[in-house]
Amino acid sequence: MKASKKPLDRAGLLKLASVASVLTAGFLIVAKLVAWSMTGSVSLLASLVDSVMDSIASLINLFAIRYSLQPADENHRFGHGKAEPLAGLTQAAFIAGSAVFLVFHAIDRLRFTHTLEQVGVGVGVMVLAIVMTLGLLAIQRYVIKKTDSTAIRADSLHYLTDLLTNVSVLLALYLSTLGWTWADPVFAIAVAIYIFYSAFQIGHEAFQQLMDRQLPDDILEKIQATAMTHPEVTGTHEMRTRQAGHTRFVQLHLELDENMSLKRAHAIADEVEAKIMMFLPGAEVIIHQDPKDDSNKGPPGS
């Protein structure tokens, strides 16, 4: 029963984070659109565009996560986990495009200054946006801790960017009331640069997963050490790891006594696999048993 409960818990958390993200982005888009139309602030427009991109990214996440949670089938023997990094790569493209748009609009506003109107409305909307974004980030951080989802992590980075954007917009609105009309477009350009940097981070991480980058070194070392804790394992080699969405894949060869029976060798492999899955729950672990042969032994864990 416990084994069947974990995937359901994970699926529920991912769906919760995705739906909360979509609803938050939708509400903020409407609020910021009204505030921008009343104030004419280009930095508020930057925040609005960022929220639109967040909404699109959140919708992509919602569908990608639903697809990635589908079990393996006849045509996808390794599951559908790579839908998550594909969603992350798509999000990066959307975010980078929004940053370019903001830069051009802010440059135009620097050339032709504009006095902001009804700044109080803009301030109120931005305070509301900050409170809602903080609440969403708290939900996402909890889900990331429990699921290690690439898509939710990318979405959370969007909203962390949005939080910083909202704070900067508040400052820009305040400075504009002091007569510093240049502050509004300058802050918008700063936001755009940060958005572009965030897009690069998301795209890089998603690309690495799609290219089957191996798991971090500390996990590799832990896998190696775990295998070697078994008293009948004399060595390991040809370790290969990768991650697709939330699923991690581990392959390695165990070196065992050449006179050992096949039944005993299989039992040892099962024991090592169980130990590895204790710290990598839900992982796909494949272990091959080899007779000990010093001539074929490479570096530990290689």
Residue 4 has a pLDDT of: 39
The two structure tokens encoding residue 243: 């991650």
* pLDDT score at 266: 92
pLDDT given for residue 1 in this prediction: 36
Are the C-beta atoms of residues 232 and 270 closer than 8 Å to each other?
no
- Interatomic CA distance for residues 109 and 93, integer angstroms: 25
Per-residue model confidence (pLDDT) at position 6: 47
Can you read off the two tokens belonging to residue 295? 């001539």
pLDDT of residue 99: 77
**Beta bridge pairs of residue 73:** none
Q: What is the per-residue pLDDT for 22?
A: 80
Place of tokens 């191996």: 214
Name the residue among 130, 53, 147 with its Cα closest to residue 91: 53
Nearest to 91 by CA among 244, 215, 204, 212: 204
Strand partners, 250: 241, 285
Distance, CA of 290 to CA of 302 (rounded, Å) = 15
Checking 10-15 for CB contacts under 8 A at 24+ apart, the result is: 10/146, 10/147, 10/246, 10/282, 11/69, 13/142, 13/143, 13/146, 13/147, 14/65, 14/69, 14/143, 14/147, 14/149, 14/151, 14/152, 15/65, 15/66
Contact of 123 with 173, CB cutoff 8 Å: yes
DSSP state of 295: G
What is the full per-residue pLDDT of the chain (302 aa) written as tens digits? Answer: 343 344 447 678 877 888 888 888 888 888 888 888 877 777 777 778 777 776 777 677 677 777 776 777 777 767 777 777 787 787 788 778 777 877 877 787 677 665 666 677 778 888 888 899 899 999 988 888 887 776 677 778 777 777 877 787 787 777 777 777 777 778 778 877 877 887 888 788 888 878 878 888 899 999 999 999 999 999 999 999 988 766 788 999 999 998 889 999 999 999 999 999 998 887 889 999 999 865 444 444 44
Tokens of 180: 């510093």
Helix/strand/coil for 288: strand
pLDDT per residue over 120-173, tens digit each? Answer: 777 888 888 889 989 999 998 888 888 777 667 777 877 777 787 778 778 777
| Total residues found in the chain within this entry | 302
* Type and span of the H or E element at 237: strand 235-244
DSSP code of residue 286: E
Its pTM surpasses 0.95: no
Residue type, 199: A
Going along the chain from its start, the domains and CATH numbers come out as: 2-210 (1.20.1510.10), 217-296 (3.30.70.1350)
Which pLDDT does position 7 carry in this prediction?
Answer: 46
